[in-house]
Amino acid sequence: MSTLLVIAKAPVAGRVKTRLTPYFTPEQAADLARAALADTLTAVLAAPAGRRVLVLDGRPGPWVPEGIEVVAQCAGGLDARLSAAFSLADGPALLIGMDTPQVTPGLLAQGLDFDGTDAWFGPADDGGFWALGLAEPDPALLLGVPMSVPHTGREQRRRLTESGRAVRDLPELCDVDTPADAARVAAAVPGTRFSALHGGLRAVTR
For the chain, the structural domain boundaries read: 3-139+150-205
pLDDT at site 205: 64
pLDDT, tens only, 21-47:
989 999 999 999 999 999 999 999 999
Question: Confidence class of residue 147 from pLDDT cuts 50, 70 and 90?
Answer: very high
Query: Quick check: 133 and 143 in contact, CB under 8 A?
Result: no
Check: CB of residue 125 under 8 Å from CB of residue 172. yes
Q: What are the tens digits of pLDDT across the range 54-108?
A: 999 999 999 999 999 999 999 999 999 999 999 999 999 999 999 999 999 999 9
Of 52, 70, 45, 74, the residue nearest 60 (C-alpha) = 70
State the sign of the Cα–Cα–Cα–Cα dihedral 54, 60, 66, 69: positive
Find out whether 49 and 89 touch, Cβ atoms under 8 Å.
no
Pick the CATH number of 3-139+150-205 from 3.20.20.80, 3.40.190.10, 3.20.20.70, 3.90.550.10: 3.90.550.10
Amino acid at position 203, single letter:
A
Tell me the helices (H) and strands (E) count for the chain, helix number first: 6, 7
Q: Render pLDDT for 110-141 as a digit per residue (tens, 0 to 9).
A: 999 999 999 999 999 999 999 999 999 998 89
pLDDT for 203 beyond 80: no
| Predicted TM-score of the model (pTM) | 0.95
> Contact at 8 Å (CB) between 108 and 121?
no
- Condensed to tens digits (0 to 9), the pLDDT of residues 167-189 reads 999 999 999 999 999 999 999 99
What pLDDT score does 204 carry?
61
Q: How far from the centroid of its chain's Cα atoms is residue 77's Cα? A: 16
pLDDT reading at 206 higher than 60 = no
Per-residue pLDDT at 13 exceeds 90: yes
Judge if the upstream peptide bond of residue 101 is cis by omega within 30 degrees of 0.
no
